[in-house]
Amino acid sequence: MPFRNAGWRAVARAVMLAAVVSAAACSGTATSTSPIFVTDFVTGTVVTQVADVEPVKITVASTVQLVLVSLVPNTGVAVGVGIGVPPADGSAGCTLDAAEALAVGQSFTVAEDAGAHCIVVFEAIVNGAGAIPDPLTYTVKFNHH
């Protein structure tokens, strides 16, 4: 008799395992069509009255988030951080879709189409004057699909 009980336990375990594997497979299939979330870090240097433009790519139209992670030296100033599209003719520059003045740790989100984009960091003008030390190195976290 003990042999029979062990056999039934093995069958029960096999059935449970099959159910778990089947459920996991169904779950994986349902999420595999979702876009993959990506975090990129964009770094560069900005100086007084000269914006820094860095190319980025968005795979799927979605809401993106830009976070100002660091400024070196960090004197507590805000800089302009924006996202836009490069010129169609391939020349330098960026036509901004959205921009905000951000201090370290601040962020903003905006809906963007898929395709080539650019992140721009520039001197924020406050009360008619810029306030950044030259040069100013930055890091922006770019969350997108």
- The tens digit of pLDDT for each residue in 67-126 reads 999 999 998 888 999 999 999 998 889 999 999 999 999 999 999 999 999 999 999 876
pTM (two decimals): 0.74
Note whether 105 and 72 are same-domain residues.
yes
Domain that holds residue 109: 38-144
Statement to judge: residues 46 and 107 lie in one domain: yes
Q: Are residue 74 and residue 117 in the same domain, yes or no? A: yes
- Whether 127 and 69 share a structural domain: yes
Assess whether 98 and 119 both reside in one domain: yes
Using alpha carbons, list the distances in angstroms from residue 65 to 1, 35, 51, 135.
65, 15, 20, 25
Q: In terms of domains, do 76 and 95 share one?
A: yes
| 9 and 44 co-located in one domain | no
Euclidean distance between CA atoms 136 and 124, whole angstroms: 12
